[in-house]
Amino acid sequence: MSLTEEIKKRRTFAIIAHPDAGKTTLTEKLLLFGGAIQTAGAVKSNKIDTATKSDWMEIEKQRGISVATSVMGFEYKDIKINLLDTPGHQDFAEDTYRTLTAVDSVIMVIDCVKGVEIQTEKLMEVCRMRNTPVICFINKLDREGRDPYDLLDEVEEKLNIKVRPLSWPIGMGKGFKGVYNLYEKKLNLFTPSQRKLSDDRQVFENLDDPELDSLIGPNNANQLREDVDLIEGVYPEFDVNDYLEGKIAPVFFGSAVNNFGVNEMLDTFIKIAPGPKSRETDLREVKPEEKKFSGFVFKIHANMDPNHRNRIAFLRICSGTFERNKPYNHVRGPKPLRFSNVTQFMAQDKEIIDEAFPGDIVGLYDTGNLKIGDTLTEGENMVFTGIPSFSPEIFREVINKDAMKTKQLEKGLKQLMEEGVAQLFTFEMGQRKVVGTVGQLQFEVIQFRLKNEYNATVEFHPMNLYKACWISSADKKQLDEFVRSKNRYIARDKDDKLVFMAESKSWLQMVQDNYPEIEFHFTSEF
Ligand code: GDP
């Protein structure tokens, strides 16, 4: 197969959702359709049970599960689908943000009872930064949920994206009868079943057909006719280009656990979802069809066993053909790297492969050369952009409890930060080290891993910080002056970039007002 054909065949995406909306269940059904698994229950949730969430054994288990399901590849109707898993626990949100840089589109699951939840809003913001196309799946229609019109309004309002229903529910909860596919004008009747794989669908070009009344009852039939009239009147015709530009989200209704509405969404997904897209580097845009290979590392998974400090780096291939054992330019590093152990993930199996194509994700065994955001190329010294760090939400000062192990601590911190476990900021004054995370859990992970893998003992002391803002200015003198006058609050990030550590929202606002020439950024890339 030619490179162009390989590219055309691929769809790389992630499912995002607030915990409990049904991401794991939907993932499993998609894998069933793809023939990648045979039985329901084969996909383990990557959630950490809240009751045991401060137990590091649980964290380790979670890490074990998440590597197995990090990428799930399967074929469906001749399309090679790469589904990237995102951590279910919100403390690992930063991991999810980075995973979203490696996909070309997302499916967003929303619980019809709870509507749009907070984690969904945050994830949508990240999608918007890159105009990632979004398909919405409104789940759990077998339960008494909210009114579908209200749900659509809420999605538009809270997620700040226009919607276009492509299917419409008939009843809900106990009275749930099925969905009408507005795109294909087909009726799909609901029978609760966790096993059923294909849906029998009835085509209704004309909803006035009296057959509809006998199938779903005259009340439901009339309601559906009214709804469809209204929707077709209110919402403009679905334009796939608007979806591809991230301007409009097509919406499907269904019930993942009953495998209802999933097949329809998947069929539409493979028709409309984008294949591997061009990507920006600091020098130029890279097209997937380019002959020469390029890619970037978006995730690193370390081995918890201190005797085997190897790790798996997840590489997204952006252009050309990636080949095993071929030396590639490690743009940030001192020497070319070659990989003999290249893994691809087909559902639950890992297999060693010889080549991979744009859109694919491969796992590279690494002994500590790679870090998150690294670019590999077949020569050119360019770096993929758009893999920013986000300002953390919780800050703690690192206190070394064993002065004899300072070197181990430094090394451990550096490596954990390279894996993206958390972010390290070093204050200019006094060189105090501050770890920033998006969740409590990471501090426990870091503390445990520093002890277990590096034999370093730390404590974390709370710090009264609101945000870390990367600062810049067109006027270098002003920036120098700012850094001088605010030196108690100035730190450096892992790349030595200047960061302003703001103590509170109101104070940050005041400083911003007082220094209009200084730009404050909440992500490391601007
Ligand atoms: P995740 O946290 O988003 O991965 O959510 P899960 O897939 O683990 O689902 C959370 C819970 O919702 C589980 O108990 C599922 O069985 C249940 N669930 C998923 N889909 C449906 C559905 O369509 N209807 C109902 N009633 N429950 C569902």
Residue 21 CA, closest ligand 1 atom number? 3
> Does residue 387 sit within a domain?
no
Q: Is the beta carbon of 18 within 6 A of some atom in ligand 1?
A: no
Q: Distance between CA atoms of 367 and 340, rounded to whole angstroms? A: 12
> Does residue 338 sit within a domain?
yes
Strands 285-286 and 349-352 turn out to be unpaired
From the list 127, 132, 238, 140, the residue with the least C-alpha distance to 181 is 238
CA atoms within 13 A on the CB side of 449: 25
CATH classification at residue 426:
3.30.70.3280
CA distances from 171 to 115, 258, 336, 371, 513 (A): 17, 16, 60, 50, 53
CA of 12 to the centre of ligand 1 (A): 23
Strands 10-17 and 79-84 turn out to be parallel
Q: Distance between CA atoms of 364 and 342, rounded to whole angstroms? A: 5
Q: Is the beta carbon of 400 within 6 A of some atom in ligand 1?
A: no
CB atoms within 10 A of CB 71: 27
Q: Out of 214, 246, 272, pick the residue that ends a domain.
A: 272
Q: Is the beta carbon of 143 within 6 A of some atom in ligand 1?
A: yes
Rg of the chain over Cα atoms, rounded to whole angstroms, equals: 25
- Which pLDDT belongs to residue 53? 45
> Does residue 526 sit within a domain?
no
Q: Is the beta carbon of 30 within 6 A of some atom in ligand 1?
A: no
Q: Is the beta carbon of 27 within 6 A of some atom in ligand 1?
A: no
What are the structure tokens assigned to 423, written together?
């972010």
Probe target for ligand 1 pocket from 23, 25, 62, with the most ligand atoms within 8 Å of CB: 25
**Is there a contact between 312 and 301 (Cβ–Cβ < 8 Å)?**
yes
139 is in an annotated binding site: yes
The complex scores an ipTM of 0.99
Q: Does residue 101 share a domain with residue 62?
A: yes
Question: What is the residue with the minimal CA distance to atom 26 of ligand 1?
Answer: 140
Strands 375-377 and 294-302 turn out to be antiparallel
CB atoms within 10 A of CB 239: 12
Question: What is the residue with the minimal CA distance to atom 27 of ligand 1?
Answer: 140
Q: Does residue 450 share a domain with residue 321?
A: no
> Does residue 156 sit within a domain?
yes
From the list 419, 190, 438, 151, the residue with the least C-alpha distance to 303 is 419
For the chain, the distance separating the N- and C-terminal CA atoms, rounded to the nearest angstrom, is 39
Q: Is the beta carbon of 139 within 6 A of some atom in ligand 1?
A: yes
Give CA 247 to chain center in angstroms.
19
Q: Does residue 301 share a domain with residue 238?
A: no
Q: Is the beta carbon of 20 within 6 A of some atom in ligand 1?
A: yes
Phi-psi region at 430: left, alpha or beta (left = phi > 0; alpha = psi -120 to 50): left
Phi-psi region at 414: left, alpha or beta (left = phi > 0; alpha = psi -120 to 50): alpha
**Farthest CA pair distance, the chain:** 84
Q: Does residue 28 share a domain with residue 164?
A: yes
Q: Is the beta carbon of 47 within 6 A of some atom in ligand 1?
A: yes
In order along its 526 residues, the chain shows pLDDT tens digits of 899 999 999 999 999 999 899 998 999 899 888 876 666 565 665 555 544 444 555 655 655 555 556 788 889 999 999 999 887 667 777 888 889 999 999 999 999 999 999 889 988 988 998 899 999 999 999 999 999 999 999 999 999 999 999 999 999 998 898 999 998 888 888 876 655 555 567 777 788 888 889 888 999 999 999 999 999 999 989 999 999 999 999 999 999 999 889 988 999 999 999 999 999 999 999 999 999 999 999 998 876 666 666 788 999 999 999 999 999 999 999 999 999 989 887 766 678 889 999 999 999 998 889 999 999 999 999 999 988 888 898 999 999 999 999 999 999 999 888 888 899 999 999 889 999 998 888 898 899 889 988 999 999 999 999 999 999 999 999 999 999 999 999 999 988 999 999 999 999 999 999 999 999 999 888 7
Q: Is the beta carbon of 257 within 6 A of some atom in ligand 1?
A: yes
Q: Does residue 290 share a domain with residue 265?
A: no
Q: Out of 224, 239, 272, pick the residue that ends a domain.
A: 272
Give CA 161 to chain center in angstroms.
18
- Domain ranges, residue 371: 280-377
Q: Is the beta carbon of 256 within 6 A of some atom in ligand 1?
A: yes
199 is in an annotated binding site: no
Q: Does residue 186 share a domain with residue 313?
A: no
- Which pLDDT belongs to residue 85? 83
Q: Does residue 309 share a domain with residue 191?
A: no
CA of 345 to the centre of ligand 1 (A): 25
CA of 111 to the centre of ligand 1 (A): 9
What are the structure tokens assigned to 165, written together?
């229903």
CA of 283 to the centre of ligand 1 (A): 44
What are the structure tokens assigned to 459, written together?
């404590």
Q: Does residue 261 share a domain with residue 151?
A: yes
Question: What is the residue with the minimal CA distance to atom 16 of ligand 1?
Answer: 257
Q: Does residue 318 share a domain with residue 463?
A: no
> Does residue 384 sit within a domain?
no
CATH classification at residue 312:
3.40.50.300
Q: Does residue 402 share a domain with residue 369?
A: no
Q: What is the DSSP letter of 328?
A: B
Q: Does residue 343 share a domain with residue 453?
A: no
What are the structure tokens assigned to 324, written together?
């095993």
> Does residue 454 sit within a domain?
yes
Question: What is the residue with the minimal CA distance to atom 22 of ligand 1?
Answer: 140
> Does residue 388 sit within a domain?
no
Q: Distance between CA atoms of 379 and 330, rounded to whole angstroms? A: 9
The DSSP annotation for 163-228 comes to EEESEEEES-GGG--EEEETTTTEEEE----SS--S--EEE-S-TT-THHHHHH-HHHHHHHHHHH
The number of distinct structural domains making up the chain is 3
Q: Distance between CA atoms of 54 and 116, rounded to whole angstroms? A: 28
Q: Does residue 373 share a domain with residue 407?
A: no
Q: Out of 318, 342, 377, pick the residue that ends a domain.
A: 377
Probe target for ligand 1 pocket from 92, 120, 257, 259, with the most ligand atoms within 8 Å of CB: 257
Probe target for ligand 1 pocket from 20, 179, 262, with the most ligand atoms within 8 Å of CB: 20
Q: Is the beta carbon of 19 within 6 A of some atom in ligand 1?
A: yes
> Does residue 386 sit within a domain?
no
Q: Distance between CA atoms of 418 and 357, rounded to whole angstroms? A: 26
- Which pLDDT belongs to residue 39? 61
Which backbone phi and psi does 308 adopt, to 5 degrees?
Answer: -130, 85
